[in-house]
Amino acid sequence: MQITVIGAGRVGSTLGGRWADGGHEVTYGVRDPDDPRHRDLGRRATPAEAVRDADVVLVALPWNANEAVLRGLEVGDAVVIDATNPLAAGARELGVDPALSGAELVAKWTGSERVVKAFNTTGSGNMSDTSYPKGAPAMFVAGDDADAKSTVLDLARGIGFDAVDAGPLSAARDLEHLAMIWIRLAYSLGHGPDIAFHLLRR
């Protein structure tokens, strides 16, 4: 697939690298494609150029950059994966109305009905290496478009996650709170980032 990664931080570059290793064609959409800091990313373009002909667009920007970048971005029929969390200053709480999610705002800004929430409930280290002794980490996926959600579930499975359908896009409100629990456990409570959620079944 043609995958565009909007953003060049740890999450975007890690997922982009994993998918490229899996045979997908990855392009990074960055503000300045000639910035030497991005030279190791591979194919680069501006966000507007990078989304042309994309099958999947991963949004992996700092939350406060999302609206400016996404409004007016012509994503067409691409699956849009929102991997962000609407963090308030200090990154210890969410900064949006609790009756809404960041993913629903991403859908509004892009005008897309194919937005899927995923890759927001764990750190980039677990995206790089999903191996744990007692099973694969869970990756919860929420969206309204069944085909788009199926694509994202497959992308998550392809890099080693136990991909779990978490329901409609409105469930992103719950997934963003789950992300806050992971952040609190990893950093505020000292467990470190080598922790992951696992869905037990019986």
Q: Does the residue 194 lie in any domain? A: no
pLDDT bin (cut points 50, 70, 90) of residue 98 is low
Q: Is residue 179 part of a domain?
A: yes
pTM of this structure: 0.95
In tens, the pLDDT along 110-122 reads 999 999 999 999 9
Within a domain: 197: no
How many domains does one find in the chain? Answer: 1
Higher pLDDT, 36 or 168: 168
Mean pLDDT, rounded, for 74-84: 97
Q: Residue 121 domain-assigned?
A: yes
pLDDT tier at 87, thresholds 50, 70, 90:
confident
pLDDT at 182: 96
Assess if residue 112 is contained within a domain.
yes
- Name the CA dihedral angle for 176, 96, 88, 45, rounded to a multiple of 10 degrees: 80
Q: What's residue 97's pLDDT?
A: 61
Q: Which residues of 13-49 are buried (b: 16+ CB within 10 A; e: fewer)?
A: bbbbbbbbeeebebbbbbeebeeeebeebeebeebee
Q: What is the 3-state secondary structure (H, E, C) of the chain?
A: CEEEEECCCHHHHHHHHHHHHCCCEEEEECCCCCCHHHCCCCCEECHHHHCCCCCEEEECCCHHHHHHHHCCCCCCCCEEEECCCCECCCCCCECCCCCCCHHHHHHHHHCCCCEEECCCCCCHHHHHCCCCCCCCCEEEEEECCHHHHHHHHHHHHHCCCEEEECCCHHHHHHHHHHHHHHHHHHHHCCCCCCCCCCCCCC
pLDDT band at 78 (very low <50, low <70, confident <90, very high): very high
CATH number, domain with residue 57? 3.40.50.720
Percent of all residues in the chain with a pLDDT value above 70, rounded to a whole number? 94
Q: What is the pLDDT of residue 162?
A: 98
Q: Which domain holds residue 80?
A: 2-188
Q: Is 15 domain-assigned?
A: yes
Identify the pLDDT of residue 2: 98
